[in-house]
Amino acid sequence: MDFVKLEMDGALATITIDRPKALNALNRQVLSELSDAIGQVAANRSLRTLIVTGGGEKAFVAGADIAEMANFSNAEALAFCEQGHRVLDSLEALPIPVIAAVNGFALGGGCELALACDFIYASEKAKFGLPEVTLAVIPGFGGTQRLTRIVGRARAKEMIFSGDMIDAAKAREIGLALEVVPPAELIEKCKKLAANIAKRGPLAVAQAKRVIDAGADLKLGDANAIERDGFMKLFATADQKEGMAAFLAKRPAEFKNA
């Protein structure tokens, strides 16, 4: 892959969008490579967490590639939009937790990429925004919907209608970013969280992610029914037996993802 790097280190995978001359902008090739990387992560059952970040010091992903999009026909615009949705949907659907390490500009498609992750840790230098209206278009990779679900309708409208950027501190204030750290500490902060998650029962973490996401837009009673089903199913796993036996024996658990 030319612009997407995939690294696997034990239970941790890291995907880096690395197209520095274009501030890591997303074009059709980058999206295709990103899809391939996500597919490799999905196929590796030894992985417990994924970090997504941008190469260099300036940008996470500065947006979609305007030079490529400028002369799209309606059909080409739809195909590009659909490609972006497929890729980000596949990222969001991964059973392992996905951490966005936002190290710089996360604008347009870059902000949408971060929104498709389970949570965002941001560098103090990070900037977020959905500036598509300044180009007379709207977000096309799920930004109008995911941002609304995270920060609420009014905040999402404020960001999308104005097209303005917000800094990392504001992103944390409105609930877009979980934590803001000095640039030099960002990746280590994400790796520390990833290592902590990796110690937990992997089937339980995956089930918790499934239950939370599946129930988020349902009535409470329907969502709780999904939780009950997920809770019950884990009692058929070897990891559940091991986890509770280890607790009673006062020893560390050795989970097998089974």
| Confidence grade of residue 166 (pLDDT, cut at 50, 70, 90) | very high
pLDDT at 60: 97
83 and 166 part of one domain: yes
- HEC profile of 166-233: EEHHHHHHCCCCCEEECHHHHHHHHHHHHHHHHCCCHHHHHHHHHHHHHHCCCCHHHHHHHHHHHHHH
9 and 75 part of one domain: yes
- For residues 218-231, give the mean pLDDT: 97
Give the pLDDT confidence of 194-203 residue by residue, as tens digits. Answer: 999 999 999 9
| Confidence grade of residue 22 (pLDDT, cut at 50, 70, 90) | very high
| Confidence grade of residue 188 (pLDDT, cut at 50, 70, 90) | very high
User: Residue 40: how many CB atoms within 10 A of its CB?
Assistant: 14
Is 179 among the residues known to form the active site?
no
Choosing from 7, 68, 112, 124, the catalytic residue is 112
Torsion angle, alpha carbons of 37, 62, 119, 236, to 10: -20
241 and 178 part of one domain: no
Choosing from 33, 132, 173, 185, the catalytic residue is 132
14 and 135 part of one domain: yes
224 and 147 part of one domain: no
Domain that holds residue 232: 202-249
Rounded Cα gap, residues 196 and 29, in angstroms: 34
| Confidence grade of residue 50 (pLDDT, cut at 50, 70, 90) | very high
258 occurs within a structural domain: no
255 occurs within a structural domain: no
Is 112 among the residues known to form the active site?
yes
Query: What distances in angstroms separate CA 89 from CA 20, 34, 35, 94, 115, one per listed residue?
Result: 25, 12, 10, 9, 11
The arrangement of strands across the sheet holding 119-123 comes to: 4-9, 12-17, 49-54, 98-102, 119-123, 179-181
